[in-house]
């Protein structure tokens, strides 16, 4: 085995930096909490070249210090920047670089260099040194360093800013493609926060398990990001569409009275909707980039309501105050959404309210506008289930 002082030792890290552009920040003398193995190598690298890009900016090594281009090492690794959305799955990692799509390169607590997949939170050990990491990258820079795609993207669209990355609308893990219409340019930290909640779901699946919650959207509707088919228990003929961390508590009776009258009411992080029967009912959820175009479904539905919903956790739950771990959560980018609910088949419900073919279609899309609870189309007869 060779050592850095051995003249026969490979100098892959030097070969990598020789083809890089640097620095991204002013000169620093970096000291880390650890100096063993790759930690010492990283401190030395950033003290020589404070941040760099390589492979036509397909690879970015973060700078150190408060000034410069792109993310800085300390802020990027602050839990509140993006790691909190992974709820422990990114703990113990010092992320020092990323590729064009936000794949992280990090040092773990065992002083190993690892590749961290932002979509699944899977860690792949690349070696025990930055030399090993550089060798791995140089073995296939077009793929491992995203050089080929970075080059073709910049040729078509121009260079990204240093604080931007590419993120797929439909994640690669779930069948998303590398076509332009499936890619968006976003702030690098936002890209990580978007994927954190979904990574929690995918990481928890056993090997070989199928993930059915998000099938590929039909080609006829490219703005459909995900489609989910659920059975939800409508206790007291009521369902709550809510952020996973929100709790209704015990609202005033008038809250439920309004809900029964209109089949819509809201509380912080919660939308209450009515259902025709107090049993398991079919609920379809579609997440879109944009509102429904011509909204032909409004003409077909019996009753249509709408409200705004804030989802700080990035996990959507549909139930009636049931938070069992077995209930499916729908992972979304944290933010504010408009939610439209189409209720179908109300005329099929039997007089005793026990049988029927009622179904409920929930459509969400991100919004910056206010969406007060309202009835867009009212069922002409008394609403069942009250």
pLDDT of 328 reads 83
CA atoms within 13 A on the CB side of 275: 31
pLDDT per position as a tens digit, 314-373: 899 999 888 888 788 888 889 999 999 999 999 999 888 889 999 999 999 999 999 999
Examine residue 23 and say whether the peptide bond preceding it is cis (omega within 30 degrees of 0): yes
| Mean pLDDT across 93-100 | 98
Q: How many angstroms separate the CA atoms of 228 and 19, rounded?
A: 46
pLDDT per position as a tens digit, 134-165: 999 999 999 999 999 999 999 999 999 999 99
pLDDT per position as a tens digit, 286-309: 998 889 876 788 988 999 999 999
- Is pLDDT at 265 greater than 70 in this prediction? yes
Share of the chain above pLDDT 70, in %: 92
DSSP 8-state secondary structure symbol assigned to residue 133? H
The torsion of the CA quartet 251, 305, 367, 293, rounded to 10 degrees, works out to 170
Give the pLDDT band (50/70/90) at residue 23.
very high
Q: What angle do CA 355, 356, 360 make, to 5 degrees?
A: 135
Distances in Å between the Cα of 227 and the Cα atoms of 41, 132, 218, 293, 301 are 46, 41, 10, 17, 19
Q: How many angstroms separate the CA atoms of 208 and 202, rounded?
A: 11
Range 224-377 has CATH code 2.60.34.30? yes
Question: How big, in percent rounded to 5, are the helix, strand and coil portions of the chain?
Answer: 25, 30, 45
More confident residue, 174 or 84: 84
Q: How many angstroms separate the CA atoms of 39 and 121, rounded?
A: 22
Q: Residue 336 — φ and ψ, nearest 5°? A: -110, 135
| Mean pLDDT across 225-232 | 86
pLDDT of 5 reads 44
DSSP 8-state secondary structure symbol assigned to residue 323? -
- The mean pLDDT value of the chain amounts to 89
Other CB atoms within 10 A of residue 262 CB:
18
- Strand 270-274 to 264-267 pairing: antiparallel
Q: How many angstroms separate the CA atoms of 243 and 333, rounded?
A: 12
Q: What is the DSSP string of 285-318?
A: EEEESS--SS-HHHHH-SEEEEEEEEETTSEEEE
- Is pLDDT at 121 greater than 50 in this prediction? yes
The residues that bridge with 53 in the sheet, in sequence order, are 21, 60
Alpha helices by DSSP H, the chain: 12-18, 37-48, 73-76, 130-139, 141-144, 147-157, 188-204, 253-262, 296-300
pLDDT of 204 reads 66
| Mean pLDDT across 177-202 | 86
| Mean pLDDT across 275-286 | 93
Q: What is the pTM of this model?
A: 0.59
pLDDT of 1 reads 37
Residue 229 near residue 282, CB atoms below 8 Å:
yes
pLDDT of 225 reads 81
Q: How many angstroms separate the CA atoms of 334 and 312, rounded?
A: 5
pLDDT of 182 reads 85
Other CB atoms within 10 A of residue 199 CB:
25
- Is pLDDT at 310 greater than 70 in this prediction? yes
Beta strand residue intervals within 23-139, DSSP E: 52-54, 59-61, 94-99, 104-107, 113-116, 123-127
- Is pLDDT at 219 greater than 60 in this prediction? no
| Mean pLDDT across 158-180 | 88
Helix axes 130-139, 37-48, angle to 10 degrees: 70
Domain with CATH 2.60.34.30 in the chain: 224-377
More confident residue, 226 or 12: 12
């Amino acid at each position: 085995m060779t050592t850095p002082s051995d003249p026969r030792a490979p100098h892959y890290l030097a070969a990598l930096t020789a083809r890089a552009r640097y620095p991204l920040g002013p000169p620093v003398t970096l000291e880390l909490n650890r100096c063993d193995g790759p930690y010492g190598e990283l401190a030395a690298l950033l003290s020589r070249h404070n941040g760099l890009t390589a492979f036509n900016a397909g690879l970015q090594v973060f700078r150190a210090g408060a000034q410069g281009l792109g993310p800085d090492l300390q802020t990027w690794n602050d839990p509140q920047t993006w790691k909190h959305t992974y709820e422990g799955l990114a703990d113990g990692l010092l992320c020092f670089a990323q590729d064009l799509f936000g794949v992280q390169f990090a040092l773990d607590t065992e002083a190993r260099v690892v590749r961290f997949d932002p979509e699944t939170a899977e860690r792949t050990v690349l070696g025990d040194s930055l030399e090993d990491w550089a060798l791995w990258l140089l073995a296939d820079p077009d793929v491992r360093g995203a050089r080929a795609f970075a080059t073709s993207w910049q040729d078509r669209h121009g260079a990204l800013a240093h604080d931007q990355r590419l993120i797929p609308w439909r994640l690669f893990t779930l069948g998303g493609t590398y076509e332009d219409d499936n890619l968006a340019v976003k702030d690098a930290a936002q890209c990580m926060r978007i994927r954190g909640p979904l990574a929690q779901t995918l990481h928890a699946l056993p090997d070989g398990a199928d993930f059915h919650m998000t099938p590929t959207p039909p080609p006829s509707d490219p703005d459909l990001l995900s489609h989910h088919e659920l059975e939800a228990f409508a206790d007291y003929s009521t369902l709550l569409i809510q952020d996973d961390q929100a709790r209704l508590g015990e609202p005033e009776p008038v809250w439920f009275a309004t809900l029964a009258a209109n089949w819509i009411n809201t509380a912080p992080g919660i939308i209450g909707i009515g259902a025709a029967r107090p049993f398991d009912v079919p609920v379809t959820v579609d997440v879109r980039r944009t509102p429904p175009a011509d909204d032909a479904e409004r003409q077909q539905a019996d009753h249509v309501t709408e409200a705004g919903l804030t989802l700080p956790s990035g996990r959507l739950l549909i139930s009636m105050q049931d938070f069992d771990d077995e209930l499916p959560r729908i992972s979304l980018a944290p933010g504010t959404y408009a939610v439209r609910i189409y209720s179908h088949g109300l005329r099929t419900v039997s007089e005793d309210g026990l049988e029927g073919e009622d179904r409920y279609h929930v459509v969400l899309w991100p919004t910056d506008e206010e969406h007060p609870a309202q009835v867009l189309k009212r069922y002409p007869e008394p609403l069942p289930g009250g």
